[in-house]
Structure 1
């Protein structure tokens, strides 16, 4: 009998901390620009507090409004892991709240992202060292019946994420990077940041914003000046 939909993978290969830390100070917007501007998750999944998120993805898939697999995941995730929960995008029931967040913090988990709802937002929103992202907020609690999956490919905010993908999030949003693509993306983003620094320097010091592409595009689309 197939166990698809009810299975737990207890461990997986994580990228090195050295590789992950290379993304520490890079804005998500710059990264998304270097990934053809289609890689960020749904804009409705927002940060609940002001902490940035960075670490390897520990993925969970749960039925709508159920958190049995999240309870199990908290016991097997490793310090620094980012718990990424595919809750189907529904916001009718909270998948977790203050108790589970405190347990995650005690265990050294690096943060939580849920494509669904949470509760106890008055507590979670005040945390300064534990990032949490969610699609919604509701006082309605979850069921604990299962099934679900731990550490399989899931879809969160319209983006596929696999266990061990690098999770990066700030005030703009979140995206996931495959470890084998990380160095290439880093090389691209460094070039983008250098160009943007030069543009900003001209804006501040010369009060100019040079955009040769602008008039070229207007000419290309045959814009009429009246």
Structure 2
């Protein structure tokens, strides 16, 4: 069973670090292709989420499969959905988002289309998708859950750690979450040090050198 308190605590750290620093850390750890393509984006400003992936594969527009996932996933999970990347039929809207929020789902990442953006934004529910479209889906009973999927041209497995914000979406493979977390914290520390030197008037090259030196001696 998912430890919800531990998951939320970890999620807060990843949200603070952000998708970009996480991607940089993954590249440094030998995983350079874990950032989803730019088509997968926050549907409204300020949306942020992090948590373990609950994966869904569904026929485009088959909202039934995602409805099942909402009831099956644990609080704190991020639903990551391979909906075929279709632009012309939605997989989720306001009412499903409301139910997901009630169940404690942390957010949703959809390689496909969603709708009711203003309503989802008003809920404060983090939603990331490739397209926005008003056309309704279907209730065709076609889907798979907790299986490897492709989302944003990245393979996502159940339990991979998702970090999403206005910069995009990054997926951390489950078996390297701990070392990547340490590396991401180091990336953020280095960025903060560089920023301090830039504010002191250094050029970027010098700021990077001073930051590296200061972190090396700590």
TM-score normalised by length of structure 2 = 0.84
Question: CA–CA distance in 2 between the matches of 1:187 and 1:75?
Answer: 33
Q: Name the residue aligned to 1:32.
A: 23
Instruction: Tell me which residue corresponds to 2:54.
Output: 58
Give, in whole Å, the separation in 2 of the partners of 1:14 and 1:114. 25
Candidates 158, 163, 168, aligned match of 1:163: 158
Unaligned runs of 5+ in 2: 209-218
5+ residue gaps, structure 1, are 1-11, 214-226
**Contact 1:199–1:210, Cα closer than 8 Å, also in 2:** no
Q: Distance in 2 between matches of 1:113 and 1:169?
A: 9
Equivalent position of 2:213 in the other structure? none
2:37 matched residue in structure 1? 42
Query: Aligned partners of 1:152, 1:19: CA distance in 2, in Å?
Result: 23
Task: Give the Cα–Cα distance (whole angstroms) in 1 for the partners of residues 22 and 203 of structure 2.
Answer: 25
Q: Displacement of 1:65 after TM fit?
A: 2.0
TM-superposition CA deviations, 1:183-215 (whole Å, max 9, x none) = 2112222332222222211211124222699xx
> Separation in 2 of the partners of 1:52 and 1:110?
10
Structure 2 equivalent of residue 3 of structure 1: none
Larger CA Rg, structure 1 vs 2: 1
Count residues with an aligned counterpart: 201
Q: Partners in 2 of 1:191 and 1:148 — Cα distance?
A: 40
For residues 189 and 122 of structure 1, the distance between their equivalents in structure 2, rounded to whole angstroms, comes to: 33
Q: Give the RMSD, CA atoms, in angstroms.
A: 2.2
More helix by share: 2
Whether contact under 8 Å (2:110, 2:129) holds in the other structure is yes
* TM-score, normalization by structure 1: 0.81
